[in-house]
Structure 1
């Protein structure tokens, strides 16, 4: 049997994987330029400007025109410039119709297409609603013939532990299986959850299933 501290470190690692995955899903607008002036632009995979041996990390396309303040509409062409201000590089974006030439201090300029807004595929659900869903899972019979349900219960338990809605007391052995002992911070439980020791790709797949199920059942 593992000590609670060891279990917490391992479960914490799983929760960090889930958090990192959420970050990986966000999509940025990339900048990859060979030179600095008057270049056509096409998105790459990172917000990065490459000039010789130097790499500059830039913010994505802005939401409003730096000249007139009008919204930069998705799928329209805008003019982006890189200016030097107080020893730092700053990106400004302009509507093509408002473009009046590069401002003072410009070190580079290019045209690009304003991207469509990114819609996150990660469902946001408050801890209490997720707790109710977890309690429903916990009430279902623990059927070894349904490993998917056991894994889903484990992932939800880890999410609630990370949100500080569950606390981990320890573990116990049931035959050759290790079971984690969770309880609610408001006195719920105890909840016995099979330690599934999931790989990253399994966590990804289960989170997708969880998102789909929660959206379908309109948990809020």
Structure 2
């Protein structure tokens, strides 16, 4: 069982020099272990550093990452949330297709379903020069082949957006595909 640990938002200023970050400025956020207190009940603290004052390896930290301060009036991006049952239906309907674009479509839907834990990875298989993922629907024993399409990250993003658009058009904007603000939790 995993446990969530809330991490405080950035303070929008460098811990070392106190300078406020400007929109689109790159800086480093680091996560430190501290004594639990009312301010840090889980014993974790986030500190932000400008690029000039990042102490690097000189101090012990749990994690660090590069980030940017967003533009103040930038609206949150919307993302499409698609019903898992609808994705499963389309995934199985596309089984056996030879059409290249539909194979890409099925592959990306398969990846989405694996990520959402509606399909489980059972292994891989090679047939000729093709590689296949062996997946099964959660709580069943029937194994299905999913051809590894070796798509670039950009191609996966493009196909994902197309899936959201098409399912929204097919459903006429029903609850199977709906928009939700980025960063919101989705139920699976």
With structure 2 as the length reference, what TM-score do the two structures score?
0.52
SS at 2:24 equivalent: coil
8 Å CA contact 2:91, 2:106 repeated in 1? yes
Superposed CA deviations along residues 123-159 of structure 1, whole A, max 9, x for unmatched, are 123xxx2243233232236332x21111121111112
Deviation at 1:118, TM superposition (A): 1.2
Is 1:210 matched up with 2:163?
Answer: yes
Larger Rg, first or second structure (1 or 2): 1
Distance 2:52 2:129 in 1: 55
In the alignment, structure 1 segments of 5+ residues that lack a partner are 1-29, 62-112
Q: Whose helix fraction is larger, Structure 1's or Structure 2's?
A: 1
Distance 2:51 2:117 in 1: 47
Residue of structure 1 in register with 2:24 after alignment: 44
Superposed CA deviations along residues 136-190 of structure 1, whole A, max 9, x for unmatched, are 232236332x211111211111121122211112233444322222111132743
Distance 1:181 1:202 in 2: 22
Q: 1:147 aligns with which of 100, 107, 110?
A: 100
Alignment of 1:47-126 (within 5 A): 53-54=52-53, 114-120=72-78, 122-125=79-82
User: Root-mean-square deviation (CA), in Å?
Assistant: 4.0
In the alignment, structure 2 segments of 5+ residues that lack a partner are 1-11, 29-47, 55-65, 178-188
- Inter-CA distance 191–42: structure 2 relative to 1 (3 Å threshold): same
Distance 2:69 2:166 in 1: 32
Distance 1:192 1:58 in 2: 39
Deviation at 1:117, TM superposition (A): 2.9
